[in-house]
Amino acid sequence: MHEMSLMESVREIVEQTASQHGARRVTAVRLQIGALATVEPEALRFCFDVVMQDGVAAGARLEIETVPGSGWCWDCGEAVAIAEGGAGCPGCGGYRLEVTGGGDMRVKDIDLGPEQESSTCA
């Protein structure tokens, strides 16, 4: 389950951000996950609760935003929306698609404790 190692990386980002801002508590973590990323949101939710316990984000809320997939079709020369991996071009039906968006996961922002402000991750 690679979601566990992904969430361990998220914990590092959360802990580092909290430390940089002098926060003792994190109340929410927002992730952006591309529709084409090979990540299972429900598995991430489970891993979040396990990995974040005993840290500054223990009991924090996890919010997940899905980012649509997009790509470039080399057959018709168009930017297209891609609903799922392995799908053909919605315009011409070709399969020479280069993914240009929606294939990754990132920490969008972190809500620090009440005495701190939200921190946006780049």
Q: Which domains does the chain have, with CATH numbers?
A: 2-67+102-120 (3.30.2320.50)
Sequence-distant (≥ 6) Cβ neighbours of residue 52 within 8 angstroms:
7, 11, 14, 58, 59, 60
Which pTM does this prediction carry?
Answer: 0.81
The confidence score (pLDDT) of residue 119 equals: 52
**Selected residue with higher pLDDT from 20 and 122:** 20
Q: What is the pLDDT of residues 57-99, one digit of tens each?
A: 999 999 999 999 999 999 999 999 998 888 889 999 999 999 9
Sequence-distant (≥ 6) Cβ neighbours of residue 12 within 8 angstroms:
none
The confidence score (pLDDT) of residue 57 equals: 96
Identify the CA nearest to 103 among candidates 3, 44, 33, 41. 33
Confidence band for 51, pLDDT divided at 50, 70 and 90? very high
Q: What is the pLDDT of residues 10-46, one digit of tens each?
A: 999 999 999 999 999 999 999 999 999 989 999 999 9
What distance in Å separates the CA atoms of residue 40 and residue 47, rounded to the nearest whole number?
11
The confidence score (pLDDT) of residue 120 equals: 58
Confidence band for 1, pLDDT divided at 50, 70 and 90? low
